[in-house]
Each structure stands twice: as structure tokens, then as C-alpha cells.
């Protein structure tokens, strides 16, 4: 999951080297925290949150196949 989110976030960012994803276990869920440059936050979130919603849907589909509950957060 981490590699998937990192790949998509780096593709969207103007500064792909500033993108990082950390994994944190929270109970039964895997939380993926995405840190990007302040200027790239808007691109990752998108208008009315459409881009981040699509990213979350993609991760949700992949995590269901793996049998893991995953949450994506933007820092």
C-alpha cells in the first residue's frame, strides 16, 4: 500500500523528492500519512477533495484484496 500511495503522490507533485509516506498501525488499521511540500498540498487534495478521494478509493480497493483496513491521511 505504501508504495502505491508514494507512486501516485510523486506523480502528482511538482517536488516529488519532498513526498514521503509513513505507515502507522492503529488498532486493526494501517494508517498511511502522506507528507508533501506545502505548495503541492492543493494538487494532492484537488478541487473539493476529488483527487484525495480517488486516491483513497484506489487504496481501499487494493487493501480489501489484501484483507487489511487502510486509511490515508494528508499531512
Instruction: Give the residue from 48, 41, 72 showing the smallest Cα distance to 58.
Output: 72
Q: What is the DSSP letter of 66?
A: H
Rounded Cα gap, residues 10 and 48, in angstroms: 20
What are the 10-residue block averages of pLDDT along the chain, 75 residues in total? 95 95 92 95 95 96 92 93
- Which residue range forms the structural domain that includes residue 43? 2-74
The CATH number of the domain holding residue 35 is 3.30.300.20
pLDDT at 34: 97
Mapping DSSP to helix (H, G, I), strand (E, B) and coil, where does residue 22 land?
Answer: strand
Nine-digit cell string for 18: 519532498
Q: By the 8 A CB rule, do 17 and 40 touch?
A: no
In the sheet that holds 69-74, the strands lie side by side as 20-26, 29-35, 69-74
Number of structural domains in the chain: 1
Amino acid at each position: 500500500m505504501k508504495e502505491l500511495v508514494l507512486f501516485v503522490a510523486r506523480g502528482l507533485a511538482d517536488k516529488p523528492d519532498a513526498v514521503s509516506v509513513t505507515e502507522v498501525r492503529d488498532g486493526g488499521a494501517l494508517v498511511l500519512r502522506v507528507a508533501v511540500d506545502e505548495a503541492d498540498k492543493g494538487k494532492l487534495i484537488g478541487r473539493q477533495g476529488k483527487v484525495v478521494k480517488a486516491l483513497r478509493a484506489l487504496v481501499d480497493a487494493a487493501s480489501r484484496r489484501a484483507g487489511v483496513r487502510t486509511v490515508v491521511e494528508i499531512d
